Amino acid sequence: MSPFGYLAFNANMTRVLCMLSVLAAMGWQHAGAANAVERVKGQNGKATTYYVDAVRGNDSYAGTTIAKPKATISAAAELVQPGDVVLVRGGTYRETVRVPRSGTSDAPIRFGAYRNEKVILSGCDPVTGWARLGNGDIWKANAGTSVWENGRGETLFVGGLLRFTAREKGEYDPLDLSRWGVIEKGDLTTEGFTAKDLTGHGDDFFNGAKVHFHVNDWTIETRRIADYESKTGKVTFDRPTNGVSQKQRFGYIIDSSIKLIDAPREWFHRGEQLYYRTAAGEDARDLDIEIRRRAYAFDVRDRSHVVIEKFTFRGVSVHTNDESNSNTYRGNRFYGYDKDNVGRFRLGGSDNLFRDNEVSQTWGSALTIGHSRNRIINNYFHDIGYTATARVLAMSGDSHLVSHNTVSKFARSFLDGYPDRSEFAYNVFKDGGRLSWDTGVFDGDAGRGNGGGCIVHHNVFSHSQRKGIYAAFYAGTDLVIHHNIVYGVGPNTVRHGYPNFLKYYHNTFIGPPPVLDTDVSDRAVQMSINNNLMLATEDCFSLGVDCRGNHVYNAGDFVNLAQNDFRLSASSSAIDCGVVLPGINDGYRGDAPDAGALEAGESMWKVGHDFRHPPEPKYEWRSLPGTNIFANGQFGTPPEMIPSESVTSKSDSNSEKWLVKGTPTYFNGNAWNHFNIGLARYGNHTVRLRPGDSMRRTFGDLKPNTTYTVAANVKLTDHRMECSDPDAKQASLASGEHRGVKYAQGVRRGDWLRFDNVDFGPAEKYNQMELVFSRPPGQKATQPTKIEIRVGDQKGTTIGEFVAQANVHDSWYSSIADIPPLVGKQTVCLVAVSENASSLRLANIRLRSSEIPAEGQLTIAARQHGGKEATRRIGSADWIPGYESLSFTTGHHATSFELLIENNGWYDAYLDRLAIFESTPRDPSTREKWYRAAPVDGDLVASDGEVRRGVNANGYEWWQVSFPQVVTPGRIELFGRDSKRLDQPRLIRVSLWERDPGIQGKVHWSQLRKTDGTFWRRDGVVINGGDISDDAATRLASAPTRVIRVECIGQKGLGEKSLGLTHARVFSATDRPPASNVAQAGIASQSSDHYVVTGKADQAIDGDIFPTARFTTTQLSKSPWWQVELKESVPIDQIRIFNRNSAADRISTFRVSVFDTDPDQGGKELWGREYSYQRGDIPSAGSLMILGRHSDSHCRLDSVRGGTFVRVQESGTGMLSLVEVQVWTTPH
């Protein structure tokens, strides 16, 4: 039936037909015409069409006929009312159109091109009066001064094409890194760099120009050049950078100098003079040269229901604000519009539609999107991010739809930080990460970005093979990622740390498997990796992860892998190998779901943009099982809070608003700079509750008779005292702010800061003080700085001492000092006692307690109508891995509950990472059903092991437990049945495997034990981490394992085949450190720290030995070192050093030494020997074993006496990185 069949032929029909003819002129389709009819009907037939023609028009005309059009769009816009249409004839329009009023939902105001004619909305004005300089190709014209300060936002278009300013390197295409200059690894410092490709221009040639250069894998900085040395290519900056992390070759571009106009189509503007270099034989007077003078073509601030379509926006975008709602931008082309953030396109407001557009050649993000329910559909984004650090979309808010877009050739990521409850579907992402590599197409901000429950499905990621750690998905939590295809992306496909509420379902990962950067202490929470196709699985599973249904593919699993046809072949082993996932694979065919993105027999989906046949997707986000009900779990956006006493009705209390008492505060915890010492754990924000504060909220959409868990991370600490604002001082302080933190600098030896009326409360409330500090870039200290804590005044009693470490850089660190119990209000003085105190930036101090008593903690409570209240006290002095939680079960008819968070304790409480989820207990089928041992904290078998038992072909019994992640056993406990029939002697072998023996796993450790009638009695059999394998070399805690197997064997005439094992416990070396590994009880240090918090020296003695565990990393420096100070001198039987799997060559050529005292304090080397990664002494993901019998040129290692320091030191310049160092002594 025609969409007009329901309309009666009445007096308005003439107007309707007239309106349809207008729509036809604009090229709108039939469905759009139906909507237009509704608009006319809603306006009682009063809609008006205005025509605009830049060539034949005149603003004095009425503009209501095509014969007498307006000359400017602005003139027509002044007249429009809801339902009116402005049709613009082909031509170039140089104006900013202020839309004077809003349309309505059934009568929007429309601006569009007449009959698809090419309408250019230009932000530029023509430049004329060109004169040639001499006989060359450089021309000059008077273009006037820039309309923006210091030339910000100024760009040039020639013949409609964007041209770049004169530059050295990076000419013509800033996104082509091969055109950039090259800074080789090691040639960049905070003061400047040396570039071999920059020699020969003459000393001082580049002085005064700007240089843009990588300082790390994710950041570009800009400096003026203070000095240039022609012979060496050395560049000196006008001021130091904020720190350098050069892991690989970096790039640079030099511009902002008239000397650099050395290539065709470059330009430079100084004062009123504009210079342009033509191609050979061109005449600038014959060219259409425009310089940018306006940032916006339309201004729709405070306007809604406006449609803008089928225009070309040259150097301009649309000006919006938070009240620009329900607007449509359709079928346009936007390019070159946001240099220096002038004209940045912010899609302000909610319910906007941005579809069928082409967006290209931006310096920053293509769009900045916030608020709610915006739709980004069927667009083509390309050539995005000339600044190198911008993402394609900068998003916040909630409930957005991003669907059927093609995103190609972008500098960094597509998305960096997630909105809440949004959907990303049927998009194509290719050729990303061109200029920034420590990121991914979807970047969750270093593992701490809240995904807000976003769902990413049915997308294709390709052609983004980069250096660094680039991936399709990089970090982030609270995400559901299903039915995506990833190929040609790397070196990673997926890389995550802090795996919480991540769901990877039915993805096809061609290339490296997903990597989870976790260890035993970073146990995953509600993490699932199911039904995926991957090349391997070793690095994608972690403790606490549900990893069923995945399949390791080969070429035969696909129709044509070589041609990127990822449909399953009829003989694929991925068919029917998956597990059922409600809401994800409902309606699967066959006996079980298939693994991978495409079910057998399914055709490839339609992805990316299609301007000829535009799709019509709908927002279909829904909460899926196992996801966090609270989308704003990391408080990425401020929670809406209202005083509880202002609530007047039940409906007011049942919403997304928090009802508060006191003054709970949304707080910037600065986690990116502080990490564990900051006031936010995962994201940059937290909620602070001071004593007496509370907040409560009702959550709905729960299931009756279902168990839910409320989990949170809470830090308890006292409020801080700012060092920049003491009550008294003896110091000449310079104040400043670095990374959002205020500081004071300039305290010299003997200077002091005094703080009055510091409230210590009752006795035993505080036993520590914390100082937050940093050092300026370029001011490195060789020794720690000591600051004494005194009470009374600067000459009072010393109660503690802060020791600020020497090798800090750029970011904020803390020092914690133990203090005796004090009572009431006291005067506290900080007194500098070190000569190098003036290099410190002192931020703040605070009181803290190492042990928080229950009465000092925060209370969380889950309440439901008619049900039992669940309550728990939580919080500690430091952020802890994972969560503290409580569980409750809903009633027979309950579908909601109220969460109360109340600070009835002693300290300021900082709440981060709040989660509410349906509890999914571990499948009991993976545990022993006939024997249930009492649970013991830290037992990996009970928490993560998959237990199996069986009988081999010869009738001998075996038992084994497998883990989803490599574990480092520190202790194994075996328990058996005390039965008379087990009195017969037998041989039992305990072995540790890299993978299941059934798939040709390799044995890492093995012991053969002879049993008798007393073997299983009393307390079971204990194998400690220091116990040596039958190979007489390998310790238990030196054997990374996924499978532990206990089996009877028929050797040496002992034929008893019954095993008798009932259960086992396995503890990690982190929880049960072996006493004979003396390094693990020692004190580690290293020459410098590359990372802010991770990569510290003590991570090489934490007990974790597998290659993807936490590792140490020094800065790039000459002869970097790592060492451990042993608690006492003991005979050394073995030294074992474990290497990384990625960047394994960082250990390079090195020396392992034993010293009698600290080498930097004059210690003597007692034993030392050279080793090399290059010659295979320590392979990637492997280890170096130095046995006691190994000698240097003087003695055997096990003959050394008096050694207290073990040092590993690089022989040349590099970055030293270690996974673990073990120092074994012979067990007593």
3-state secondary structure 1100-1123: HCCCCCCCCCCCCCCCCEECCEEE
Q: How many CA atoms lie within 13 A of 1056 on its CB side?
A: 15
Residues 660, 730 share a domain: no
Residue 912 lies in a domain: yes
pLDDT band, very low/low/confident/very high, at 501 (cuts 50, 70, 90): confident
pLDDT band, very low/low/confident/very high, at 676 (cuts 50, 70, 90): low
Report the amino acid identity of residue 853.
P
- Taking the C-alpha atoms of residue 36 and residue 574, their distance in angstroms, rounded to an integer, is 50
Residue 685 lies in a domain: yes
pLDDT band, very low/low/confident/very high, at 924 (cuts 50, 70, 90): very low
Residues 752, 671 share a domain: no
pLDDT digits (tens, 9 = 90+) for 786-840: 999 999 999 999 999 998 877 676 678 888 899 998 999 999 999 999 988 888 8
- Taking the C-alpha atoms of residue 143 and residue 158, their distance in angstroms, rounded to an integer, is 14
If one counts the domains in the chain, the total is 5
- Taking the C-alpha atoms of residue 125 and residue 95, their distance in angstroms, rounded to an integer, is 10
CATH number of the domain that residue 1139 is part of:
2.60.120.260
Distances from the Cα of 504 to the Cαs of 473, 500, 509, 545, 546, in angstroms?
11, 12, 11, 11, 10
What is the side-by-side order of every strand in the sheet holding 515-516? 346-347, 367-369, 393-395, 415-416, 440-443, 471-474, 494-496, 515-516
pTM of the model: 0.80
With residue 140 as reference, give the H or E element that holds it.
strand 138-142
- pLDDT for the residue 741: 82
Instruction: Tell me how long the chain is.
Output: 1228
Worst-scoring range by mean pLDDT, 593-607, 842-856, 1047-1061? 1047-1061
Tell the burial category of 67 from Cβ atoms under 10 Å away from its Cβ (0-12, 13-18, 19+). Answer: exposed
Share of the chain above pLDDT 70, in %: 88
CATH number of the domain that residue 1029 is part of:
2.60.120
Residue 397 lies in a domain: no
Rounded to 5°, the CA angle 450-456-462 comes to: 115
Question: Which of 830, 848, 866 is at the close of a domain?
Answer: 848
Select from 925, 823, 873 the least CA-distant residue to 712.
873
- Taking the C-alpha atoms of residue 561 and residue 712, their distance in angstroms, rounded to an integer, is 45
- Taking the C-alpha atoms of residue 315 and residue 409, their distance in angstroms, rounded to an integer, is 19
Residues 646, 743 share a domain: no
Worst-scoring range by mean pLDDT, 426-435, 662-671, 722-731? 662-671
In the predicted model, what is the mean pLDDT of residues 1017-1046? Answer: 87
Tokens found for residue 893: 């008819």
- Taking the C-alpha atoms of residue 870 and residue 894, their distance in angstroms, rounded to an integer, is 15
- Taking the C-alpha atoms of residue 173 and residue 654, their distance in angstroms, rounded to an integer, is 54
In the predicted model, what is the mean pLDDT of residues 114-136? Answer: 95
Question: Cα 899 vs. chain centroid, distance in angstroms?
Answer: 29
Tokens found for residue 217: 């894998």
pLDDT digits (tens, 9 = 90+) for 216-258: 888 899 999 999 999 999 999 999 987 787 878 899 999 999 9
Worst-scoring range by mean pLDDT, 515-519, 541-545, 939-943, 1219-1223? 515-519
Residue 678 lies in a domain: yes
Residues 739, 685 share a domain: no
- pLDDT for the residue 172: 92
Residues 711, 860 share a domain: yes
Q: How many other C-beta atoms are found inside a 10 Å radius of the C-beta of residue 659? A: 21
- pLDDT for the residue 187: 94
Tokens found for residue 809: 């850089």
Residues 946, 1062 share a domain: yes
- pLDDT for the residue 13: 42
Average pLDDT, the chain: 86
3-state DSSP assignment of residue 341? helix
With residue 939 as reference, give the H or E element that holds it.
none
Worst-scoring range by mean pLDDT, 22-36, 473-487, 516-530, 968-982? 22-36
Tokens found for residue 574: 């991925």
3-state DSSP assignment of residue 115? helix
pLDDT digits (tens, 9 = 90+) for 406-439: 999 999 999 877 888 999 999 999 999 999 888 8
Contact 387, 218 (CB under 8 A): no
Tokens found for residue 283: 């005449």
Please give the residue range of the domain that contains residue 346.
Answer: 1-123+295-356
| pLDDT tops 80 at residue 612 | yes
| pLDDT tops 50 at residue 930 | no
3-state DSSP assignment of residue 1023? strand
| pLDDT tops 60 at residue 14 | no
Question: Which of 795, 814, 848 is at the close of a domain?
Answer: 848
Residues 1060, 959 share a domain: yes
- Taking the C-alpha atoms of residue 826 and residue 849, their distance in angstroms, rounded to an integer, is 17
With residue 77 as reference, give the H or E element that holds it.
helix 73-77
| pLDDT tops 80 at residue 1050 | no
In the predicted model, what is the mean pLDDT of residues 358-377? Answer: 96
Residues 645, 773 share a domain: no
Question: Cα 1006 vs. chain centroid, distance in angstroms?
Answer: 41
In the predicted model, what is the mean pLDDT of residues 349-376? Answer: 97
Tokens found for residue 635: 């408080």
Residue 11 lies in a domain: yes
- pLDDT for the residue 1109: 65
- pLDDT for the residue 927: 36
- pLDDT for the residue 1108: 66
Residue 709 lies in a domain: yes
- Taking the C-alpha atoms of residue 831 and residue 787, their distance in angstroms, rounded to an integer, is 5
Residue 21 lies in a domain: yes
- pLDDT for the residue 217: 86
Q: How many other C-beta atoms are found inside a 10 Å radius of the C-beta of residue 1151? A: 17
- Taking the C-alpha atoms of residue 12 and residue 769, their distance in angstroms, rounded to an integer, is 80
Question: Of 413-417, 958-962, 1115-1119, 1130-1134, where does the model show the most confidence?
Answer: 1130-1134
Residues 729, 700 share a domain: no
User: Cα-flanking dihedrals φ and ψ of residue 918, to 5°?
Assistant: -70, 125
Contact 474, 524 (CB under 8 A): no
Residues 903, 772 share a domain: no
- Taking the C-alpha atoms of residue 516 and residue 473, their distance in angstroms, rounded to an integer, is 11
DSSP structure class, residue 943: H
In the predicted model, what is the mean pLDDT of residues 974-985? Answer: 64
Report the amino acid identity of residue 948.
R
- pLDDT for the residue 977: 65
Worst-scoring range by mean pLDDT, 376-380, 588-592, 1049-1053, 1114-1118? 1049-1053
Distances from the Cα of 727 to the Cαs of 313, 719, 754, 826, in angstroms?
58, 16, 6, 13
pLDDT digits (tens, 9 = 90+) for 954-975: 888 888 988 877 888 999 998 8
Worst-scoring range by mean pLDDT, 576-590, 868-882, 1161-1175? 868-882
pLDDT band, very low/low/confident/very high, at 947 (cuts 50, 70, 90): confident
Report the amino acid identity of residue 259.
K
Tell the burial category of 450 from Cβ atoms under 10 Å away from its Cβ (0-12, 13-18, 19+). Answer: buried
Select from 673, 170, 185 the least CA-distant residue to 468.
185
Contact 345, 141 (CB under 8 A): no
| pLDDT tops 80 at residue 1019 | no
Residues 1062, 937 share a domain: yes
Contact 1192, 1102 (CB under 8 A): no
User: Cα-flanking dihedrals φ and ψ of residue 211, to 5°?
Assistant: -120, 130
- Taking the C-alpha atoms of residue 625 and residue 628, their distance in angstroms, rounded to an integer, is 9
What pairing do the DSSP bridges indicate for beta strands 375-377 and 353-355?
Answer: parallel
Question: Which of 866, 891, 918 is at the close of a domain?
Answer: 918
Of residues 278 and 702, more confidence is placed in 278
Select from 691, 630, 646, 640 the least CA-distant residue to 666.
640
In the predicted model, what is the mean pLDDT of residues 29-48? Answer: 46
| pLDDT tops 90 at residue 867 | no
- Taking the C-alpha atoms of residue 928 and residue 948, their distance in angstroms, rounded to an integer, is 8
Residues 114, 23 share a domain: yes
Residue 183 lies in a domain: no
Distances from the Cα of 784 to the Cαs of 806, 911, 1071, in angstroms?
5, 33, 31
- pLDDT for the residue 1048: 86
| pLDDT tops 70 at residue 544 | no
In the predicted model, what is the mean pLDDT of residues 909-928? Answer: 68
